[in-house]
Amino acid sequence: MVIGDLGHRITLQKFITEVNENGFETAVWQDYKTVWASVSNLSGKEYYQAAAVQAEKTVKFTIRYLYGISSDMRILFRNTQYSITSVDNIKYENRFIEIKAVEVEKSD
CB atoms within 10 A of CB 95: 11
Give the Cα-Cα-Cα angle 17, 24, 15 (nearest 5 degrees).
15
Range of the structural domain that residue 31 is part of = 3-104
Q: Total structural domains in the chain? A: 1
Q: What is the pLDDT of residues 37-78, one digit of tens each?
A: 999 986 655 555 555 554 568 899 999 999 999 999 999 999
pLDDT of residue 2: 64
Confidence class for position 5, pLDDT limits 50, 70, 90: confident
